[in-house]
Amino acid sequence: MAQGIKLDRLMDMPLSVRLVLGKCDMEIEEILKLGQGSIIELDAENRTPLEVWVNNRMVAKAEVVLSDDQICARILEVSAPKERLRGVQESSGRAGSKSK
């Protein structure tokens, strides 16, 4: 494996996972006016898949589902394993440099 990273050593490493529904640009004035009940218009249409990001790399697309009373995500598409691991390798490299 590239740079001598062994997968078995990485399996328990915590990663940051984000699901992005959509994005928008707002001016500071608009952000300061936000309050309870405010509506923010996103660039995504209804039923657009969520983007699943792991360590700042998009690795999948998903849809929102409900399980009991929890909001969950069902994976629809997944990037190639090599692409998914690239973010992990970058993260482990940063972690290794911090401990030196």
Are the CB atoms for 15 and 55 separated by under 8 Å?
yes
Number of H helices, E strands in the chain: 3, 4
| Model-wide pTM > 0.75 | no
- How far is 66 from 72, CA to CA, in rounded Å? 6
What class is the 2-98 domain? mainly beta
What are the Cα distances from residue 40, in Å, to 19, 26, 27, 99?
17, 9, 12, 41
From 89, 25, 24, 99, select the one nearest 56 (Cα to Cα): 89
Q: Report, as an integer, the average pLDDT of 26-50.
A: 95
- How far is 49 from 61, CA to CA, in rounded Å? 6
Identify the band that residue 33 occupies on the pLDDT scale cut at 50, 70 and 90: very high
Portion of the chain with pLDDT greater than 70, in percent: 79
